Amino acid sequence: MLNTLLSWRSIFQIGRVHKSMIQLLRGMSFLILMNALSPSFAVPADPSFPTSSDKSFPQTIEEAIAQYGTARVIIDLKMAESSARSGARQSREETIAEVQDDYLKSLSPSQEPDAFGAMSIDETNIKKFTNFPFLRMEVNASLLKQIENNSLTQTVELDRPFFPNLSKSVPLIGGDEAWNMGYTGKCQAVAFLDTGVDGTHPDLADKLVAEACFSVSGSNSLCPEGLDEKIGTGSATYCPEPGNVCLHGTHTAGIAVANGGVKGIAKEANLVAIQVFHRNGSGLSTYLSDIILGLEHVLELHEQGLDIAAVNMSLGGGEFYNQCDTSFPTLTTAIAALRDVGIATIVSSGNHGSSNAISAPACISHAISVGATDKSDNIASLSNSADILDFLAPGVEINSTVPSGYATGSGTSMSAPHVTGAWAVLKSAKPSATLDDILTVLQDTGEPILDTRNDITKPRIQVDAALEMLNPPKPILLYGVHDAGLNNSHFFTIDTTRDVTELSVYPGYDIEGLDIHPQSCQLYASAGDDTSNPGHLYLVNKENGELTDLGSTGSQEVDALSFSPDGKLWGWAQDEGLLRFDDLPSATATLVVPYEGEIEGITWNESGTTLYAVQNVHGGHDPDSHGLDGNVRVLAYDGSEITTCELDGVKEIEALDTLPNDNLIIGYHEHDKLVIGVLNFGSCSITHEEEISSSYNDVEGIAWF
């Protein structure tokens, strides 16, 4: 299946609550000892240039100077010249310091300014190493020449960046194999009740689909503006406390969903960030009530239609030998409520090194508890364990995101997000799978690991093996709608092996527009005028094609739909112009660009900076809906001007969407067979056509998945 998937994708050049809970007691303090909650972080220095995500960084000093004007270098100094000074015994550190000072005195500011001027010897631009005879400094071409000719220079090399990732823990549990099979957590969200998340981190950008903060502690609140709670954009920004404590939420979230310099287990899953902590002396803690409010909010988001696979809680306290439901009845109720709707609550087992007890709330029977292993499948000495533990996952020296960078952390806090990400991958592969289905396959396929402290064996999750047992359907690449005869709309899918599956048929409907929300992955459709519901907007069930009528758009015919990357839906109304839907799922639309003409398809590019549109021109006349003997015109609007691509003598194009590399995928009207093509707008050419075995030859709308 892997080879088929890759070959098929290469065709398209893929680079790419219950309301009663409000009355629950809020006064109980659930103290989190941060030496147990927080890992021991090792935060790398922030390089002055280029950023650590810049994989085009030059490979030589000369290339760097040519590109940036300066380069940062590391100089290894010779020690012989000052190895015996004044006969007094010196420490190695003192000797190194003297060599460094002497070396810097031997250099003079560059007197040969290049394009970027002379280069001064600036102490603020120099890093003196303590235990090695090294200097780190910025140089231009003239200063580099001095260094290379200096007799104290042993070597000089480019201070090149290395790119952090999760390469040791993701392959260990089969995460990379799951990606190769086509399962990445797409269209599922995971919620993190933690210290907040840096949503501006490039590896987490565009993943935040919901945020909230619950921190009822007066002046110690960590919610914006010191409020007890806040919901909406920016409410779960990571807390501003000094030290490492506020890195925790961004680090754990990255293990599950990051997609950049590091890649989480579910690298294409969405993220719900819920900040539940407050200041407690020099550390942080959370109240039981704030945890419950966070879980309640997750349930409310589920009820609003957001697909949430799991909640991650890398927090805890105390030691419990048995299940602890009676000790925490309200929290047990909240976790059970989520479980009842298929959302798993995944909790770290605690870092006290206990061999016969785990922390709360991991000890609650409805929670999924996770202990830690190292990358050699040994039980981590810090990990709590007991008979009631559910899973093991990597938790030692895990590299992940932190605000403005990356860091390495260890603890069961790092183990739980591996399971959370795995849960999202499995749920995205088979949305119909129940919580118990996923729990069972992870247990049955996990690698058995013996804890020699207590002779207890528990499964370390193995995602690829769990996927095979779960037996998901083949990944879908494309959703489409075909018009058979006079307005009989057939919804269909094309999977990674080119198989076409019909979802449903709607006789008498005139579905013309189709697109998928970039965050929620909900499928929307719009109707033309030859129907009893002209210009209506619909939600389409992706599993069976069932339509939910959202109402009239206010236009008689909506021929095309496209989501911009920010999740805003746009449409085209014939002889009216470009529409914008401001309040989904409301179907009401606003006309933003009037235009008297017909557009058959629209799509935004990946960055949301260009809107593409397609017209079918009949014999050189005005756009006409059936111009098989004419030409096709593709337009690109960048907000200020329109660029045109004329395709002469091709079949009509009535469906348009954007591929991950900003090529366009197209569907034809009344072709001989079902044919899907790829259009490169830059060269104004159709670069590929794929004929697929199906009678669906009139594609009205497509949505690339």
Residues tagged active-site: 194, 248, 413
Cα 563-569-575 angle, rounded to 5 deg: 110
CA 370/CA 349 separation, integer angstroms: 5
Alpha-carbon torsion (95, 99, 104, 106), positive or negative: positive
Q: Residue 157, Cβ neighbours under 10 Å: how many?
A: 11
Residue from 562, 569, 603, 573 nearest 583 by CA: 569
CA distance 581 to 589: 5
Is residue 300 within 8 A of residue 334, CB to CB? The reply is: no
Yes or no: say if 138 and 159 are a contact pair by the CB < 8 Å rule. no
Three-state DSSP class for 148?
helix
List the alpha helices (DSSP H) in 139-232: 141-149, 175-180
d(CA 674, CA 696): 5
Number of helical H runs and strand E runs in the chain:
12, 41
What do you get for the CA distance between the two ends of the chain, in Å?
A: 18
Listed in sequence order, the residues at least 6 apart from 486 whose beta carbon sits closer than 8 Å to its beta carbon are 530
- Alpha-carbon span 312 to 289, nearest angstrom: 17
The two structure tokens encoding residue 208 = 């935040």
Nearest-CA neighbor of 14 among 560, 491, 661, 536? 661
Under a CB-based contact definition with an 8 Å cutoff, are residues 266 and 185 in contact? yes
Q: Which residue type does 17 have?
A: V
For residue 500 the two structure tokens come to 């076409």
Q: 3-state DSSP call for residue 478?
A: strand
142 in Cβ contact with 234 (< 8 Å): no
Identify whether the C-beta of residue 386 lies closer than 8 Å to the C-beta of residue 226: no
Q: Strand 134-139's sheet: what is its strand order?
A: 126-128, 134-139, 71-77, 153-158
Cis-peptide, bond into residue 417, ω within 30° of zero: no
- What's the residue count for the chain? 705
Helix, strand, or coil (residue 35): helix
155 residue type, one letter: T
Sign for the CA dihedral angle at 89, 92, 93, 94 comes to positive
Alpha carbon dihedral 17, 18, 22, 24, in 10-degree steps, equals -110
* DSSP symbol at 378: P
Cβ proximity of 565 and 518 under 8 Å: yes
Which DSSP symbol is given to 114? B
Residue 406 structure tokens = 């990356």
Q: Give the bridge partners for 526, in sequence order.
A: 513, 537
384 in Cβ contact with 354 (< 8 Å): yes
